[in-house]
């Protein structure tokens, strides 16, 4: 899919576009007794007893209900994620995977779960080659070939077993009920469906679910998914064995190996090679988190196979040497952009699945390496892109060498949630099916879309003479940019947690949110709402409209920066522990129609 087709457009953007072309607004349904009541969206909430922030009010409410009934942050995260599989089916669900970062208040330690999808055991570096040439990206996405072994259900099971206090079946009940009774369609959901209408129509199960009667869902109507409700009930009753060794898994394998395509469709839907053995052998991986010190705080993130923790960490180490709190807005953005450029240059050369690649995680996160790269950045000049990588194994001052690795395209429509409980535990969890609508293929009778995560691999090396750590391989995890992050103080107590969707822009979104809060002093909700820039070792930096149309753009161009317009970058959520012991949950104010933040109790310490 083209980038314009993958981005989830906010309600504001939809309305603005409608007015601009003079078109009719999306049809609205009349509210009846059968229309579900959706909780109001609030981007910030402060109180006691725990907190939840996500993009969706029904999902956030599901997590809050778990906390109110005595569940902990892990329980609430799973319940929220399952509900997002209902209300955000184009972003996440049991057909995908993700990364789970957990702070344990009792031990004051951070743990992580790598629930990334894996390639079939039959995959090799030619997975996306035909006649020796890379497939067109759109053709690779909408195919069985792009589907990796799903990791989301295994992530939920692992997290609950290791740190939760409730069973998977209990935590799936709110989502099961939501799928059965329905949620209220908004403009964002309708616009996403419209962006995918042509390819959804080519798969009967997808069309039946998301285009009933061949029509787009009506804003204000109830969207029900009884197939998913039954799937969740089965998953809760039988456990994840039904997906990895049972009937649900057989349905997934059958769909991937022979995608059901509508009669008369002219789309060439390539088959995949996922097997029952691939499902049966899937395991989540418990990884040590990445860690860097920044302004006296400890910043923990997700280690490879994600590049999020190493890239955010390296950029923070570079920025540590600049007093961003006193810099002008233009100088702040200049250094943020340049640090991002350097971090992406290094991730492209060094980061892949550590089960297959010798990833120098420790070196990438060392202050010595950051200093050797940070000295390239000047106050009055811009680095040329693509920038060549440095060598974390042998850092040299202002060193760069070899061939630059371009940033591979990653689907932008992931989702992130953040939870905290009354005991002080915190979760930052990002889950995804990759592009908006994933592969576009719904498992018949099961109510969920399959991922296209394998398109996160490099289709072919940019330079055959240089090793690419992100080529496909058997049971290999594709590199990700997912960056769930937890920040602790000097006493190993939580300060804040944050994360975002957005493909490769996740890294820059999390980095900008962290520096906006920790350096620039913005309240968390304002740091999340601030207009964004994203530089990923490219010739141009992407800017959201508020920056692109501001005088800051001219000031940065005078330094040598070049820009392109990106209507919307990311959709973050976060939670902060306030000095008086209250939790503050924060979400987007506008992006994706605004997010949803809730707390258990707005007043009264419980």
Residues designated as active site: 414
| 437 vs 450: CA distance, rounded Å | 8
- Residue whose pair of structure tokens reads 């330094």 in the numeric block: 559
| 3 vs 76: CA distance, rounded Å | 32
**Do the Cβ atoms of 594 and 42 come closer than 8 Å?**
no
**Do the Cβ atoms of 113 and 158 come closer than 8 Å?**
yes
| 399 vs 173: CA distance, rounded Å | 54
Nearest to 597 by CA among 14, 30, 56, 127: 56
**Do the Cβ atoms of 456 and 123 come closer than 8 Å?**
no
Q: Around 97, how many Cα atoms within 13 Å sit in the side-chain half-sphere?
A: 30
Distances (CA, A) of 33 to 37, 220, 221, 278: 9, 12, 11, 45
Burial 48-63, CB ≥16 within 10 A → b, else e: bbbbbbbbbbbbbbbb
Please state whether beta strands 563-565 and 541-543 pair in parallel, antiparallel, or not at all (unpaired).
parallel
3-state SS, 15-79, equals: HHHHHHHCCCCCCECCCCCCCCCCCCCCCEEEEEEEEEEECCHHHHHHHHHHHHCCCCHHHHHHH
Class of residue 330 by CB neighbours under 10 A (exposed 0-12, middle 13-18, buried 19+): middle
**Strand, coil or helix: what is 449?**
strand
Q: How many C-beta neighbours within 10 Å does residue 548 have?
A: 17
Output the CA torsion sign for 573, 430, 243, 95: positive
Which neighbouring-strand residues pair with 444? Answer: none
| 369 vs 365: CA distance, rounded Å | 7
At 171, list the tokens. 């935590």
| 237 vs 219: CA distance, rounded Å | 34
Class of residue 264 by CB neighbours under 10 A (exposed 0-12, middle 13-18, buried 19+): exposed
User: Strands (DSSP E) along 333-414, which ranges?
Assistant: none
| 128 vs 141: CA distance, rounded Å | 10
Nearest to 61 by CA among 80, 74, 35, 42: 80
| 310 vs 306: CA distance, rounded Å | 8
């Amino acid at each position: 899919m083209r980038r314009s087709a993958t981005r989830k457009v906010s309600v504001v953007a939809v309305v603005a576009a409608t007015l601009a072309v003079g078109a009719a607004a999306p049809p609205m349904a009349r509210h009846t007794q059968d229309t579900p009541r959706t909780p109001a969206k609030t981007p910030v909430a402060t109180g006691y007893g725990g907190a939840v922030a996500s993009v969706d009010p029904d999902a956030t409410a599901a997590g809050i209900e778990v906390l109110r009934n005595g569940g902990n942050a892990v329980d609430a995260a799973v319940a929220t994620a399952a509900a997002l599989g209902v209300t955000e089916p184009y972003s996440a669900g049991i057909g995908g995977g993700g990364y789970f970062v957990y702070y344990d208040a009792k031990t004051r330690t951070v743990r992580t779960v790598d629930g990334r999808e894996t390639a079939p055991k039959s995959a090799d570096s030619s997975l996306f080659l035909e006649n020796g040439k890379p497939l067109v990206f759109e053709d690779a996405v909408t195919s069985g070939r792009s589907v990796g072994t799903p990791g989301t259900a295994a992530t939920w099971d692992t997290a609950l077993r290791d740190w939760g206090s409730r069973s998977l079946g209990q935590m799936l009940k709110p989502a099961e009920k939501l799928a059965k009774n329905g949620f209220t369609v908004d403009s964002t959901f309708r616009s996403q469906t419209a962006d995918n209408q042509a390819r959804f129509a080519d798969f009967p199960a997808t069309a039946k679910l998301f285009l009933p009667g061949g029509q787009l869902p009506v804003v204000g109507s109830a969207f029900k998914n009884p197939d998913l409700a039954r799937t969740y009930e089965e998953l809760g009753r039988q456990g994840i064995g039904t997906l990895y060794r049972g009937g649900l898994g057989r349905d997934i394998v059958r769909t991937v190996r022979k995608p059901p395509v509508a009669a008369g469709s002219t789309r060439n839907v390539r088959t995949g090679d996922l097997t029952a053995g691939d499902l049966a052998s899937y395991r989540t991986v418990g990884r040590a988190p990445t860690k860097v010190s920044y302004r006296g705080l400890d910043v923990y993130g997700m280690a490879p196979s994600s590049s999020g923790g190493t890239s955010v960490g390296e950029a923070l180490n570079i920025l540590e040497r600049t007093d961003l709190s006193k810099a002008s807005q233009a100088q702040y953005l200049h250094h943020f952009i340049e640090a991002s450029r350097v971090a992406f240059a290094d991730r492209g050369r060094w980061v892949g699945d550590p089960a297959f690649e010798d990833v120098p995680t420790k070196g990438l996160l060392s202050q010595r390496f950051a200093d050797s790269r940070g000295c390239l950045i000047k106050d009055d000049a811009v680095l040329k892109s693509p920038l060549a990588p440095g060598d974390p194994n042998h850092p040299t001052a202002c060193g760069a060498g070899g061939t630059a690795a371009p940033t591979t395209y990653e689907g932008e429509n992931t989702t992130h949630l953040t939870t905290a409980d009354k005991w002080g535990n915190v979760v930052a969890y990002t889950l995804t099916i990759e592009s908006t609508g994933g592969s576009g293929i719904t498992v018949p009778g099961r109510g969920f879309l399959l991922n296209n995560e394998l398109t996160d691999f490099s289709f072919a090396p940019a330079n055959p003479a240089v090793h690419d750590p992100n080529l496909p391989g058997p049971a290999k995890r594709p590199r990700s940019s997912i960056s769930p992050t937890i920040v602790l103080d000097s006493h190993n107590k939580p300060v804040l947690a944050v994360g975002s969707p957005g493909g490769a822009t996740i890294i820059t979104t999390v980095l900008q949110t962290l520096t906006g809060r920790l350096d620039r002093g913005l309240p968390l909700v304002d740091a999340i709402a601030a207009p964004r820039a994203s530089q990923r070792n490219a010739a141009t930096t992407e800017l959201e409209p508020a920056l692109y149309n501001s005088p800051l753009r001219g000031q940065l161009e005078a330094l040598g920066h070049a820009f392109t317009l990106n209507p919307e970058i990311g959709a973050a959520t976060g939670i902060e522990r306030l000095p008086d012991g209250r939790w503050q949950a924060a979400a987007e104010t506008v992006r994706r129609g605004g997010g949803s933040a809730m707390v258990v109790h707005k007043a009264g310490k419980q």
